[in-house]
């Protein structure tokens, strides 16, 4: 055991070496890692055959046993294992990759033993990530914050896709813990903000890809590329194969749920997304893609009506998540600073009005947004915080919202 009140990264330990002779080495050293051979995770079988279920149980038991052992290790041994054992990182990565999400198409396993085992693995993986995101466990067991930041970043213990996976897998019931974890990770290692900044264009590209697959106009880089004269006729949501449509809707559903979970759990990320014009890309995506996809799901012939209904639900869920994402972005980047009061209230109010104005041509999005988050309420809030706000402008906006409702042929619920 390493000595107390000194950060782990500065501790030395004296212990028997491979030849039995005592030697002194840093407490955080590859020689102190145990050969444990963590196995990668495989998801529960979908068809539930007893042999496959048994195989899953055996595999998962190895993982829970090993992770329970890891979690019971003292602080110094835990970090030696985490930093120097590749098999552990592969095991954790494989869980993030393959663990079933609540929204996956596959039915839940029917065997209670499989369900129980999956729950055990789920908990153990979360606790392992939680411990890996904690640089101070007690007065005696801690890492220097800067060194902790360096360790988690340089060893890819956390990266942006992993953080997004953690949010979508564990965020529903553990949002407060996850918020603390992610906040600590970003605070101790600000390079994650740089990585997030680099990731947002790829996220935007995902939405462009969906538009492209539907044969719709992309606002992004792809739209700038000239189309080959001999390129084949572009498929649309109506003409693509049914499997492609299913995949596309699943992809949209996963993407919107994941980004929403991340922004909801870690609102500090909103400014990174905002700075890339995420809001306007999101609203124009909604306006362009949603009616097309909705129409395809409603009008195409599905032999399996259950699948058609499921796709509709996923599409509608995605719509809700996009609207909620837009609200999160507006709330955290404009509304919240106005409500908190401060020097730049006028600038934030101007920006908020600018965003609402930019929504006016996106009539379908605007009416769906207004249904969930009343724009009139936000404007009223704005008027209370800043009584001198231009009334002509706000009236124009509110008329625009009404007209959006009229043009999509729906009646306002409020």
Of 84 and 251, nearer to another protein (C-beta) is 251
Of 6 and 39, nearer to another protein (C-beta) is 39
- Determine phi and psi for 411, rounding to 5 degrees: -100, 135
Looking at 6, 11, 59, 389, which residue binds another protein (CB under 8 A)?
59
DSSP string, 111-159: -HHHHHHHHHHHHHHHHHHHHHT-SBSSSSSB--HHHHHHHHHHTTSS-
CB 75 to another protein: min, Å: 9
Angstrom CA distances, 235 to 204, 230, 295, 303, 401, stand at: 21, 15, 15, 21, 33
- Site residues for another protein, window 355-374 (CB under 8 A)? 368, 371
- Site residues for another protein, window 304-343 (CB under 8 A)? 305, 308-309, 312-317, 319-320, 323
Looking at 111, 189, 258, 272, which residue binds another protein (CB under 8 A)?
258
- Site residues for another protein, window 23-52 (CB under 8 A)? 35-40, 43
Binding string to another protein for residues 65 to 104, with x set by CB under 8 A, is what?
---x--xx-----x-------xx--x--xx-xxx--xxxx
Spatial separation of the C-alpha atoms in residues 305 and 158, rounded to whole Å: 41
| Stretch of residues binding another protein (CB under 8 A), selected from 205-213, 279-287, 359-367, 374-382 | 205-213
Binding string to another protein for residues 269 to 308, with x set by CB under 8 A, is what?
----------------------------xxxxxx--x--x
Of 267 and 385, nearer to another protein (C-beta) is 267
- Determine phi and psi for 157, rounding to 5 degrees: -65, -35
Binding string to another protein for residues 148 to 167, with x set by CB under 8 A, is what?
--------x--xxxx-xx--
Strand partners, 16: 22
Spatial separation of the C-alpha atoms in residues 289 and 207, rounded to whole Å: 9
Q: Which residues contact 280 (CB under 8 A, 6 or more apart)?
A: 358
Whose CA is closest to 282, among 200, 175, 346?
Answer: 200
| Stretch of residues binding another protein (CB under 8 A), selected from 130-138, 182-190, 373-381, 382-390 | 130-138
Looking at 11, 144, 179, 205, which residue binds another protein (CB under 8 A)?
205
- Site residues for another protein, window 172-191 (CB under 8 A)? 172-174, 177
Q: Which residues contact 276 (CB under 8 A, 6 or more apart)?
A: 197, 200, 201, 204
CB 391 to another protein: min, Å: 32
- Determine phi and psi for 134, rounding to 5 degrees: -110, 115
CB 334 to another protein: min, Å: 24
DSSP string, 161-226: HHHHHHHHHHHHHHHHHHHHHHHHHHHH-THHHHHHHHHHHHHHHHHHHHHHHTT---SSHHHHSP
Cβ–Cβ < 8 Å for 268, 187 = no
Of 144 and 174, nearer to another protein (C-beta) is 174
CB 292 to another protein: min, Å: 13
Spatial separation of the C-alpha atoms in residues 335 and 349, rounded to whole Å: 8
Q: How many residues bind another protein (CB under 8 A)?
A: 92
Q: Is 53 in the site for another protein (CB under 8 A)?
A: no
Cβ–Cβ < 8 Å for 173, 245 = no
Spatial separation of the C-alpha atoms in residues 10 and 333, rounded to whole Å: 40
- Site residues for another protein, window 97-126 (CB under 8 A)? 97-98, 101-105, 119, 122-123, 126
Cβ–Cβ < 8 Å for 201, 276 = yes
| Stretch of residues binding another protein (CB under 8 A), selected from 229-237, 252-260, 273-281, 334-342 | 252-260
């Amino acid at each position: 055991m390493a000595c107390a009140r000194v950060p782990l990264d500065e501790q030395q330990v004296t212990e028997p070496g491979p030849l039995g002779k005592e030697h002194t080495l840093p407490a955080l050293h590859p020689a102190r890692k145990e050969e444990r051979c963590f196995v990668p995770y495989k998801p529960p079988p979908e068809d539930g055959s007893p042999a496959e279920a048994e195989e899953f149980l055996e595999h998962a038991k190895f993982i829970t046993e090993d992770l329970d052992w890891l979690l019971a290790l003292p602080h110094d041994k835990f970090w030696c294992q985490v930093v120097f054992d590749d098999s552990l990182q592969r095991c954790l990565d494989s869980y993030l990759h393959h663990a079933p999400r609540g929204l996956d198409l596959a039915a839940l396993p029917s065997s209670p033993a499989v369900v129980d085992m999956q729950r055990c693995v789920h908990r153990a993986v979360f606790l392992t990530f939680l411990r890996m995101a904690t640089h101070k466990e007690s007065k005696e067991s801690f890492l220097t914050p800067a060194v902790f930041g360096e360790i988690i970043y340089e060893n890819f213990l956390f990266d942006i896709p992993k953080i997004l996976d953690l949010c979508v897998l564990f965020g529903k019931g553990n949002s407060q813990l996850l918020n603390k974890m992610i906040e600590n990770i970003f605070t101790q290692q600000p390079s994650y903000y740089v990585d997030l900044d680099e990731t947002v264009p790829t996220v935007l590209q995902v939405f462009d890809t969906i538009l492209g697959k539907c044969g719709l106009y992309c606002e992004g880089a792809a739209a700038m590329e000239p189309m080959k004269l001999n390129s084949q006729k572009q498929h649309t949501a109506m003409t693509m194969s049914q499997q492609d449509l299913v995949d596309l809707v699943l992809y949209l559903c996963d993407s919107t749920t994941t980004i929403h979970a991340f922004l909801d759990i870690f609102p500090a990320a909103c400014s990174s997304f905002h700075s890339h014009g995420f809001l306007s890309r999101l609203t124009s995506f909604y306006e362009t893609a949603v009616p097309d996809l909705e129409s395809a799901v409603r009008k195409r012939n599905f032999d399996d009506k259950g699948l058609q209904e499921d796709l509709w639900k996923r599409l509608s869920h995605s719509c809700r998540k996009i609207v909620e994402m837009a609200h999160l972005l507006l709330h955290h980047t404009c509304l919240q600073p106005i409500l908190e009061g401060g020097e730049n209230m006028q600038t934030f109010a101007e920006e908020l009005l600018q965003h609402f104005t930019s929504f006016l041509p996106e009539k379908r999005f605007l009416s769906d947004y207004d249904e969930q988050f009343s724009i009139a309420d936000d404007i009223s809030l704005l008027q209370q915080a800043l009584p001198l706000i231009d009334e002509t402008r706000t009236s124009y906006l509110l008329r625009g919202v009404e007209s959006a409702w009229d043009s999509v042929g729906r009646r306002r619920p409020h």
